[in-house]
Amino acid sequence: MVLVIVAETQEVVKEEIGKMGFSKIIAGCMNWGRWGVGFSTESYLSQIERCLEIGITTFDHADIYGHYTTEAEFGLALKHKTSLRDQLQLITKCGICLTTPNRPNHKIKSYNTTKAHIIFSVENSLRNLNTDYIDLLLIHRPDPLMDPHEIAETFSILIESGKVKQVGTSNFTPSQLSMLHAIYPVSVNQIEASILHTKPFYNGTTDIAIEKDISVQAWSPMGAGKITLGTEDEQCRRIVSMANILGEKYGVTFDQILLGWLMKHPANISPVIGTTKLDRIKSAFEAQQVEITNEEWHMLLRASHGADVP
Ligand SMILES: NC(=O)c1ccc[n+]([C@@H]2O[C@H](COP(=O)([O-])OP(=O)(O)OC[C@H]3O[C@@H](n4cnc5c(N)ncnc54)[C@H](OP(=O)(O)O)[C@@H]3O)[C@@H](O)[C@H]2O)c1
């Protein structure tokens, strides 16, 4: 009985958020702070505003980014202009415990998906991000010790309190996703997927997402930059060369072709882009217009795999 109520509540929340909408292209914030470009508060603010102008309204965080500092830096920018909060959606994650002077009680890198840790992490994220609610909370990595019943109970508490609007997973295998989803319906699985990482198309990860109507978000959609840096790498050379040929045909850039390739998949994938450069962010947003043919999609797949399909 409790589960039915939980499921209904989640449906209502999903409906509301569906109307509010996440942007198809999501701005990844992992590199905005100490793990990347080290934006000042002014730069965070202008980056958020430029993204909104472009049409990217959803921002992807995790508690651990910048060794637990990036959320607070982003939140400081939101504090400077409180009107921004209603114009954007915040994703954050929990469950990874890093060893860092910022968490002196962590003895080794580990996972923690207990109720106590998830709630502790959400409370920190809310405080850091200067917000009353998180639009989407993800369990960052599947934890061998995770108890799906305990996670479901925790999700239920967070949703009921209004502190979290939607819940999901990240890097979950099909069976892990299926296990949790059967107890508590999740909205999203955020996974690694790109022309350099096509495994999700073959190991059931995108299949189960389609079957259960779970949204897929793809991190490292540009292979964490490897595609563009990989002039020494035969696979990257093949991909860039093919993407350039198609880019010329459609009058777009090779990276737009690669994002268009990802978004053509029937799992309706949302790329979580990592660049901090505004021209590339704009270009990624415009990649939504790219429409390659099925055959061209397979040309890029062949360039990635170095062989025809069987
Ligand atoms: N859930 C998870 O486990 C998980 C794991 C990793 C990341 N994430 C999320 O995913 C986001 C994106 O990850 P990512 O940074 O690996 O994504 P990515 O977009 O694949 O890679 C970003 C890197 O590629 C370079 N790049 C992108 N487009 C380029 C282009 N057109 N030409 C040349 N270089 C280009 C960027 O350089 P420039 O900055 O110089 O453009 C940057 O170094 C993160 O910010 C984070 O929010 C989630």
pLDDT, tens digit, 9 for 90 and up, residues 79-119: 999 999 999 999 999 999 999 999 999 999 999 999 999 99
User: How confident is the model over 123-146, as a mean pLDDT?
Assistant: 98
Distance CA 135, CA 129 (A): 12
* Length of the chain counted residue by residue: 310
Above 90 in pLDDT, residue 10? no
- Average pLDDT (26-50) is 98
**What's the pLDDT band for 230 if we cut at 50, 70, 90?**
low
Task: Report the residue among 35, 74, 194, 219 best suited for mutation to probe ligand 1: largest number of ligand atoms under 8 A from its CB.
Answer: 219
The region of weakest confidence among 15-19, 30-34, 43-47, 87-91 is 15-19
Residue 20 pLDDT exceeds 60: no
pLDDT at 229: 74
The predicted pLDDT at position 72 comes to: 98
Instruction: State yes or no: pLDDT of 255 exceeds 60.
Output: yes
277 burial type by CB count under 10 A (0-12 exposed, 13-18 middle, 19+ buried): exposed
Asked whether residue 79 is domain-assigned, the answer is yes
Give the predicted TM-score (pTM) of the model.
0.94
Confidence at residue 282, expressed as pLDDT on a 0 to 100 scale: 98
* Residues 155, 164: Cα–Cα separation, whole Å: 8
Q: What is the pLDDT of residue 21?
A: 84
Cβ of 280 less than 6 Å from ligand 1: yes
31 C-alpha vs ligand 1 centroid, how far in Å? Answer: 8
Q: Is residue 253 part of a domain?
A: no
Q: Whose CA is nearest to atom 38 of ligand 1?
A: 275
Q: 3-state class of 59 per DSSP? A: strand
d(CA 237, CA 81): 44
The answer to whether residue 11 scores a pLDDT higher than 60 is no
The first and second tokens of residue 114, run together, are 């207990």
Q: What is the pLDDT of residues 265-281, one digit of tens each?
A: 999 999 999 999 999 99
Domain annotation covers residue 197 = no
The parent domain of residue 47 ranges over 2-192
Helix, strand, coil percentages, rounded to 5, for the chain:
50, 15, 35
Mean pLDDT (the chain) is: 93
Band of pLDDT at residue 17, cut at 50, 70 and 90:
very low
**pLDDT band for position 74 (cuts 50, 70, 90):** very high
Structural domain contains residue 222 = no
Residue 96 lies in a domain: yes
pLDDT digits (tens, 9 = 90+) for 185-194: 999 999 999 9
Residue 272 lies in a domain: no
Measured from the Cα of 280, ligand 1's closest atom is 31
- C-alpha distance from residue 175 to each of 68, 112, 219, 288 (Å): 30, 19, 20, 31
47 C-beta closer than 6 A to ligand 1: no
pLDDT for residue 12 is more than 60: no
Rounded average pLDDT over 293-300: 98
Sign of CA dihedral 21, 56, 132, 140: positive
Neighbours of 186 (CB within 10 A): 26
Is any atom of ligand 1 closer than 6 Å to the C-beta of 219? Answer: yes
- Residue 228: pLDDT band by 50, 70, 90 thresholds? confident
Ranked by mean pLDDT, the top range of 1-15, 69-83, 229-243 is 69-83
CATH number, domain with residue 177:
3.20.20.100
- Measured CA to CA, the distance from residue 212 to residue 182 in angstroms comes to 10
Ligand 1 centre distance from Cα of residue 6 (Å): 35
Cα–Cα distance between 123 and 54 in angstroms, integer?
31
Query: For ligand 1, is residue 273 a contact (CB within 6 Å)?
Result: yes
The phi-psi region of residue 252 (left if phi > 0; otherwise alpha if psi is between -120 and 50; otherwise beta) is beta
Q: Which of 65, 184, 202, 250 is catalytic?
A: 65
202 a catalytic residue: no
Q: What spacing in Å lies between the alpha carbon of 226 and ligand 1's midpoint? A: 9
63 close to 33: Cβ distance less than 8 angstroms: no
Tell me, using a 6 A CB cutoff, whether residue 54 lines ligand 1: no
What's the 219 CA to ligand 1 centre distance in angstroms? 7
Tell me the β-bridge partners of 218: 191, 271
Q: Which atom of ligand 1 is nearest to the CA of 221?
A: 20
In this predicted structure, what is the pLDDT of residue 125? 98
How many distinct structural domains can be found in the chain? 1
What's the mean pLDDT in 161-169? 98
Closest C-alpha among 237, 254, 238 to residue 290: 254
Only one residue has tokens 């508060």, namely 41
Q: Are residues 304 and 195 in contact, defined by beta-carbon separation less than 8 angstroms?
A: yes
